Amino acid sequence: MDSIEIASAAAGGLRLDFPSEKHVAALASAWDDDANHQVAFLRQPEFRAAQRLCEYASMVASADLVLPAAESVARLALKSGESAMLKRSIPIGVRRRDYLSYFGPPVDDPHPVQTYSPLKVLALFLSALEQRRGSVFLLGGVLQALQRAELHLRSTFPELRVVGRSTGDYGEADEPAIMRALQKAAPDMIVVGSLVKDGELWIPRHMRFTKSGIFLYDAGIIELLAGRR
């Protein structure tokens, strides 16, 4: 298996992806390939923003997975006359091909159009990473929420390594130290949440500080991991 094929559709000039849970778990290893990968979630405000000529639109266009996080966005894939549901091939990193055989050939969902919860998608990634003692770096929220999120991760995924963390409201003077920590830790996944300056745009503006990793942003993800709504 040299690639993973996932369902994809065009809507409003944007690509929307519809991977199965098995696909998401497989991507956690397929993306161990000395490159950075971004997972983006679109609700209505983000969908509208991504249709304008702006930095955010460029980020969404270059994201490796673009997942509808609202039913209204997912339905656009059914209504759009731009294209039918297509297959998109994602190459597999050489180092993890043996591991990916554990999943077997991903089974297509006969009804692929769906919405994606950022917390559930993150859990799928982390569960797959835990199986090979992968690592995660947490960035976002206030200190108390961040500490609780880390504790919950350690109890839920005991073999997963939390290799770094930082609150989202760090000052400009603190950024060099945080970037050095990110470089040194070389995490498999970087989770970005609330209070981070520039929000999701933090990711493309800081990807250069790590040579490989899966970046996932959601404004409330740290608070959700901490057990708060």
Task: Return the H-helix or E-strand segment holding 3.
Answer: strand 3-11
Give the residue from 225, 92, 51 showing the smallest Cα distance to 155.
225
For residue 96, the model assigns a pLDDT of 60
Confidence of residue 109 (pLDDT cuts 50, 70, 90): low
pLDDT tens digit string along 87-104?
888 877 666 665 555 555
| Distance from C-alpha of 153 to C-alpha of 119, rounded to nearest angstrom | 12
Q: Which two tokens stand for residue 186?
A: 């070389």
Confidence of residue 32 (pLDDT cuts 50, 70, 90): confident
- Quick one: what percent of the chain has pLDDT higher than 70? 88
User: 142 near 170, Cβ under 8 Å?
Assistant: no
Q: 205-210 contacts: CB < 8 A, separation 24 or more?
A: 206/179, 206/182, 207/36, 207/38, 209/179, 209/182, 209/183, 210/36, 210/182, 210/183, 210/186
For residue 214, the model assigns a pLDDT of 97
Q: How many CB atoms are located within 10 Å of the residue 164 CB?
A: 18
pLDDT tens digit string along 117-168?
999 999 999 999 999 999 999 999 999 999 999 999 999 999 999 999 999 9
Arithmetic mean of pLDDT over the chain: 90
